[in-house]
Amino acid sequence: HSIHGRAPAIATGLATSRRDLSVWVVTGDGDALSIGGNHLIHALRRNVNLKILLFNNRIYGLTKGQYSPTSEVGKITKSTPMGSLDAPFNPVSLAIGAEATFVARTVDSDRKHLTSVLRQAADHPGTALVEIYQNCNIFNDGAFEALKDKERAQEAVIRLEHGQPIRFGADNSKGVVRDPATGDLTVVPVTPDNEHQILIHDAHTTSPTTAFALSRLADPDTLHHTPIGVLRSTRRPVYDTLMNEQLDTAVEQHGKGDLSQLLAGNDTWTVETS
Ligand SMILES: Cc1ncc(C[n+]2csc(CCOP(=O)(O)OP(=O)(O)O)c2C)c(N)n1
Ligand SMILES: [Mg+2]
């Protein structure tokens, strides 16, 4: 419970001072990416020990249906009666760009997948960002239907598994390869000739380049080729640990401070006159 958008700031204080807790932020696309966008990117770059669940329904639900930073271009809402003009954020791309060490995506109605992703997030030391595609049956119904309908999902969803070739579709007939000319990732029909070129998913690689390219595969209109699962899971020093090490060093060098004495005490500065 905190002010709209500010959960990562409150949670940073909590996670750094109460290291016995597992601290989870539950947020929305409006909360995390509009009013709270700044707090979100700095929590990610600091790698605070937080788990952030970003429920993305591509709308402001609570305030009754205004467009959000993940709404598609041209979305007609009460606040955009002629269609929204803004290009949307891709939260997974944004998180990877903000130096996040753990970035995943899952879907609200797929309990098995959601559970597996949340367990991996829980085990991650540092900030874990999990985007959860969520329906809003009142203000944005059917937002992710292409990923939920059994038949359509086969073509639309790419289930990433670390160490496995990135294949999907009926009979795993499609795969992701790197285009040698551009270095970008593309989807191709798998044939005996190109089977060995299908990319093997490596969530643990330090470079964010391929995870970012994977996050860009989805077509924003049809949602075809939407990767779900853990895109990136890497290790970097955790902010809480570093901060507490500094505090220990400060105590060693200067002794333990007394906050109430500092607040109620004398001036901590001197004004020199010449
Ligand atoms: C400081 C502040 N500004 C604005 C609001 C109004 N407000 C409440 S929820 C919300 C947006 C919610 O959108 P999202 O985070 O996507 O959550 P959803 O309701 O869709 O789950 C806004 C603008 C507020 N409560 N507090
Ligand atoms: Mg929302």
pLDDT tens, 8-51? 999 999 999 999 999 999 999 999 999 999 999 999 999 999 99
Per-residue pLDDT tens over the stretch 131-148: 999 999 999 999 999 999
**Out of 36-40, 105-109, 111-115, 151-155, which region has the weakest mean confidence (pLDDT)?**
151-155
* Ligand 1 atom at minimal distance to the Cα of residue 62: 19
Query: Closest residue (by CA) to atom 6 of ligand 1?
Result: 63
Q: Average pLDDT of 200-223?
A: 94
Q: What is the pLDDT at residue 2?
A: 87
> Is beta strand 102-107 parallel, antiparallel or unpaired with respect to 128-133?
parallel
Q: Which of 10, 25, 26, 31 to mutate to test the pocket of ligand 1 (most atoms within 8 A of CB)?
A: 31
H helices of 49-110, in order, are 91-97
**In the predicted model, is pLDDT for residue 1 greater than 80?**
no
Q: Where are the beta strands (DSSP E) in 72-221?
A: 102-107, 128-133, 157-159, 167-168, 174-178, 185-189
pLDDT tier for residue 221 given thresholds of 50, 70 and 90: confident
Q: Average pLDDT of 59-83?
A: 97
By the 8 A CB rule, do 48 and 22 touch? no
User: How far from 105 is each of 29, 110, 116, 166, CA to CA, in Å?
Assistant: 13, 11, 11, 15
* Ligand 1 atom at minimal distance to the Cα of residue 32: 15
By the 8 A CB rule, do 44 and 234 touch? no
Q: Answer whether CATH 3.40.50.970 is correct for domain 7-160+226-255.
A: yes
Q: Which of 60, 70, 71, 131 to mutate to test the pocket of ligand 1 (most atoms within 8 A of CB)?
A: 60
- Ion ligand 2: protein residues whose beta carbon lies under 5 Å: 28-29, 57, 61
How far is ligand 1, taken at its centre, from the CA of residue 169, in Å?
37
pLDDT tier for residue 252 given thresholds of 50, 70 and 90: very high
Q: What is the mean pLDDT of the chain?
A: 95
For the chain, give the percent of residues with pLDDT over 70.
100
Q: Average pLDDT of 189-214?
A: 97
By the 8 A CB rule, do 40 and 47 touch? no
First to last CA, the chain: 51
* Ligand 1 atom at minimal distance to the Cα of residue 57: 20
Q: What is the pLDDT at residue 219?
A: 85
Helix (H) or strand (E) holding 227: strand 226-233
